[in-house]
């Protein structure tokens, strides 16, 4: 979502395409070959930037796994900001993404946010039509918990293969849900209430967990905000010490912490900076030990475990 310039109606410019090219070349050089888009990112210009790049260098399309998301609609003349997972909207969104990306298919389509008015059977029909037409190979979700995945999955003929959630050392409610559920500390994390069973459901059903916000907007790897909490400051300092000891970039430590989990979490890195992309790739060179993992977890949560 950092590509395509500003979130406004300005046209895509050559600098936007050049920035996408530099980032993609850095990613491919580091072994990263999954592109995570959404129809709303910079109001469609993020997809346009990569579409222009695919036109110039057609061979790039076959080197990447291309996923996009749909379901969020911004306020317009018809209504307020809303979520829509009607069959018509899903299919319209895919057609528009394919046109912007200058490709004939998406490897993955994710439903961006749960729509309270969603009819699972209708979603299933849209998925089936898109798959039969060769426009989408696989399907998944974003920001859905276990019960929603089960409800939707019962209506689908095609399996959900990805669930993308906010997961990072800074946002660790997904861990709190399992480690504090039977302890008074659980009351301190209301967001964790939605998590019980979600990781386990994904593991049991072969659903790849993708972590958005995996780098915590840089708050723990060099851009500590002025109003940081004591826990954030302590965590950032510990990340720095571990990075120095291991000879790694701080970003690699953050991702290695996520990837150490048995769920084999796939981090989605939001940076467009080629140097930072290369730094992130260092995470695959080291498996974090239990002691470092728990030390970071304790620092981030601000107190010891129950």
Q: Is residue 53 a contact partner of residue 86, using CB atoms and an 8 Å limit?
A: no
* Region at 238 (left for phi over 0; alpha for psi -120 to 50; beta for the rest): alpha
The two tokens of residue 42 are 């910079």
Distance of CA 220 to the CA centre of its chain: 18
Rounded Cα gap, residues 82 and 237, in angstroms: 40
Question: Length of the chain in residues, anyone?
Answer: 306
Q: Is residue 169 a contact partner of residue 254, using CB atoms and an 8 Å limit?
A: yes
User: 41 catalytic, yes or no?
Assistant: yes
Kindly list the distances between the CA atom of residue 138 and the CA atoms of 83, 130, 160, 266, in Å, as whole numbers in the listed order: 21, 10, 8, 17
Cβ atoms within 10 Å of 194's Cβ, excluding its own: 17
To 10 degrees, what angle do helices 250-259 and 274-281 make?
Answer: 50
SS3 state of residue 211: strand
DSSP state letter for 205: T
Cβ atoms within 10 Å of 179's Cβ, excluding its own: 16
Q: For the CA atoms of the chain, what is the radius of gyration? A: 20
* Region at 32 (left for phi over 0; alpha for psi -120 to 50; beta for the rest): beta
First-last CA distance in the chain:
38
Active centre residues (catalytic): 41
């Amino acid at each position: 979502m950092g590509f395509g310039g500003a979130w406004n109606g300005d046209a895509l410019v050559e600098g936007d395409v050049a920035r996408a090219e530099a980032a993609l070349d850095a990613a491919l050089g580091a072994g990263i070959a999954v592109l995570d888009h959404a129809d709303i990112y910079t109001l469609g210009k993020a997809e346009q930037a990569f579409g222009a790049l695919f036109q110039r260098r057609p061979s790039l399309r076959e080197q990447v796994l291309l996923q996009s998301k749909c379901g969020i609609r911004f306020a317009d003349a018809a209504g307020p900001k809303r979520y829509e997972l009607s069959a018509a909207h899903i299919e319209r969104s895919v057609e528009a993404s394919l046109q912007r990306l200058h490709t004939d298919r998406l490897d993955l389509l994710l439903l961006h946010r749960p729509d309270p008015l969603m009819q699972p059977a209708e979603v299933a029909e849209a998925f089936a039509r898109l798959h039969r037409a060769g426009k989408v190979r696989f399907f998944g979700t974003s920001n859905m918990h276990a019960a929603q995945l089960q409800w939707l999955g019962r209506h689908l003929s095609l399996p959900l293969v990805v669930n993308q959630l906010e997961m990072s050392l800074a946002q660790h409610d997904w861990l709190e849900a399992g480690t504090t559920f039977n302890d008074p500390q659980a009351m301190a994390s209301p967001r964790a209430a939605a998590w019980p069973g979600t990781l386990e459901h994904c593991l049991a059903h072969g659903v790849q967990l993708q972590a958005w916000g995996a780098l915590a907007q840089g708050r723990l790897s060099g851009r500590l905000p002025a109003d940081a909490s004591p826990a954030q400051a302590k965590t950032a300092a510990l990340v720095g010490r571990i990075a120095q000891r291991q000879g790694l970039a701080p970003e690699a430590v953050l991702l290695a912490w996520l990837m150490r989990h048995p769920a084999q979490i796939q981090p989605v890195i939001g940076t467009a900076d080629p140097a930072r992309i290369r730094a992130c790739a260092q995470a695959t060179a080291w498996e974090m030990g239990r002691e470092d993992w728990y030390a970071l977890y304790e620092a981030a949560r601000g107190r010891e475990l129950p």
